[in-house]
Structure 1
Amino acid sequence: MDHEYVVRAVRGEEWPQVRELRLAALRDPAAPVAFLETYERAAAEPDAFWRERAASASRGESVRQFVAEGPGGVWVGSVTVLVEEAGADDVFGGAVEVRQAHLVGVYVRPEHRGVGATDALFEAAVAWAWSLAGLERVRLFVHEGNPRAQAFYRRFGFAPSGVVVPVPGDPFAREYEWVLTRG
């Protein structure tokens, strides 16, 4: 049975919750194939880092973070949308060829997986992305060793683009770009 979730953009003053959810994500057993950041690195960041991260994501200029709230307002998951402009470099150092949204930091607490939280987050993130003028596609990268995420992305309408990149710090592992286009 699906649960009801309230999905909304984070607010700048919610940096402690942003920090807590990110650290929970980085402690998850799937973290090594889901995130490029380590728990140790994130936990060592000062409060000022988290304040700026939440403030930037709340403004929604080139980044917007969405959270799913479950019963009692508990944050059960998050996704961040980065707006990448044509001519810029992406997170892997490649050139961005079109104006696009890049979904990153996808995380849902284990007890809320498979019951609608991820769908609700993606619906909000993709709707916001499509509301941006001139946006041509939404993309994300998924680790070759993360079949559960790949199955969700396929069900949601994303498809592999054919772009394959090495995982930073692990030249033997690969990530695949998946894209969603209008229509």
Structure 2
Amino acid sequence: MNHVIRATTAEDWQDAKELRLDALRDPVASIAFLATYEAEAARPDEFWRDRAAGGGELLARQFVAERADGGLDGSVTVLVERAGRDVFGGQAEADQAHLVGVFVRAEQRGSGLARALFDAAIAFADGLDEPRISRVRLYVHQDNRRAEAFYRKIGFIHSGRTFLVPGDESAVEYEMVLDRRV
């Protein structure tokens, strides 16, 4: 793996946007993301600048895998969710980190890049002084077995919480949490 894993800055917005749009064109995007290419492509540049800078309503940090030539090959975003606030899937019971937007280009899958991105994202969440993160979670589609196997390999387990996928009430997303005993 010949990549630098780092947090994005506002200056990365165009590359981060391109990576996100490429992710949404991936063959498994329909089960890996709750967004569509069309909806994301229509967002204004200011949205992408804020997203790359970690701005917005919640504390968020996007981590990318940057090649030596400056291109991006993968990403994961950490959303910090505060206890008692409404979050995706209900209300946060504790201060927690929610990992979203997981993507690694097909030619890099199996190279260790996803693990390096997750290590950086989890280290960021664990290193926060305020809030102190007590839980790291993510969601995986019932048919995304490859992703689920990867999440299990690095210590995520099913929490027992699920939700129906918007637009396809026959499909389920499973919440997985990092088992801190692993």
Is TM-score (shorter-chain normalized) higher than 0.5? yes
- Equivalent in 74, 78, 89 of residue 75 of structure 2: 78
- The Cα of 1:182 is off from its aligned counterpart by 3.0
Give the whole-Å Cα distance in 1 for the aligned partners of 2:136 and 2:179: 7
* Aligned position for 1:122: 118
Q: TM-score, normalised by structure 1?
A: 0.93
Give the whole-Å Cα distance in 2 for the aligned partners of 1:42 and 1:152: 26
AA paired with 1:139? R
- Where 2:176 maps in the other structure, the secondary structure is strand
* Aligned position for 1:103: 99
Kindly provide the CA deviation profile for residues 6-56 of structure 1, in whole angstroms up to 9, marking residues without a partner as x. 100001111101110000000000000000000001111121221222222
Give the whole-Å Cα distance in 2 for the aligned partners of 1:106 and 1:170: 21
- The Cα of 1:166 is off from its aligned counterpart by 0.8
- The Cα of 1:169 is off from its aligned counterpart by 2.2
Is 1:45 the counterpart of 2:43? The answer is yes
- Where 2:77 maps in the other structure, the secondary structure is strand
Give the whole-Å Cα distance in 2 for the aligned partners of 1:46 and 1:6: 28
Q: Could you tell me which runs of 5 or more consecutive residues in structure 1 were left unpaired when the two chains were aligned.
A: none
Q: Could you tell me which runs of 5 or more consecutive residues in structure 2 were left unpaired when the two chains were aligned.
A: none
- Equivalent in 23, 27, 40 of residue 25 of structure 1: 23
AA paired with 1:131? G
- Where 1:73 maps in the other structure, the secondary structure is coil
Is the 1:66–1:79 contact (alpha carbons within 8 Å) kept by the matching residues of 2? yes
4+ residue segments displaced more than 3 Å? none
AA paired with 1:143? H
- Equivalent in 53, 59, 63 of residue 60 of structure 2: 63
How many residues get paired? 178
Root-mean-square deviation (CA), in Å? 1.4
Is the 1:26–1:39 contact (alpha carbons within 8 Å) kept by the matching residues of 2? yes
Equivalent runs, 1:82-97 vs 2, <5 Å: 82-92=79-89, 94-97=90-93
Is the 1:5–1:120 contact (alpha carbons within 8 Å) kept by the matching residues of 2? no
Give the whole-Å Cα distance in 1 for the aligned partners of 2:179 and 2:136: 7
AA paired with 2:165? V
